[in-house]
Amino acid sequence: MIRVLLAEDQGMMRGALALLLGLEEDIEVVAQVAAGDAIVPAALAARPDVALLDIELPGRSGLDAAAELRTRCPGCRVLILTTFGRPGYLRRAMEAGAAGFLVKDGPVEELAAAIRRVLAGETVIDPSLAAAALGAGPNPLTRREVDVLNAAVDGATVADIAAKLYLSESTVRNYLSSAIGKTGTRNRMEAVRAARRQGWL
């Protein structure tokens, strides 16, 4: 049996996926979690063969958890399953060590086949997303620019961001200005939206 951990914050979706995957003769869902910070503890306890992770989860993103799983549970293959088929997310998932990346609108048979394929050592990527990622190029934002934009998400002031990240206000302004230029936007909130669309945040 292929042991699967399922991380999905929407209860109905999580239950449906567990039920449908459970109908497969060779797949058993051994753990279900609704938050990103529960992924690694659940994986350490259940020892799944494959972790099926959403990206946008409460507590911690599936991408961050995937990177930790690579070191804490090296025998577990990660398959990202998300609503958000963004080129930047795909690139970040691969950098985190994910073995596959699918969007949620595919048939469950395709998902079951992908689980078997990643366990066999293959890399499985949604073809249309792979093409888009190749055309999009790498994330132009530096790690610090990403941090500053993430801190600006809720409309925080420059002073708020500076205090949160232990930076000077002039340094924050410089990072924001650079990020706005790189995203081709007019202000920090447009830059946040543009970076999110690309999956850079």
pLDDT category of residue 18 using cuts at 50, 70 and 90 = very high
Distant-in-sequence, close-in-space partners of 185: CB < 8 Å, separation ≥ 6:
191, 193, 194
Instruction: Give the model confidence (pLDDT) of 115-158 as tens digits.
Output: 999 999 999 988 766 655 555 567 788 889 989 998 998 889 99
Q: Comparing C-alpha atoms, which of 117, 124, 115 is closest to residue 50?
A: 115
Q: Whose structure tokens read 């961001």?
A: 161
Supply the pTM of this predicted model: 0.69
* Average pLDDT of the residues in 85-109: 83
Given this model, what pLDDT does residue 184 score?
83
* Average pLDDT of the residues in 62-87: 89
Pairwise CA distance, residues 114 & 116, whole Å: 5
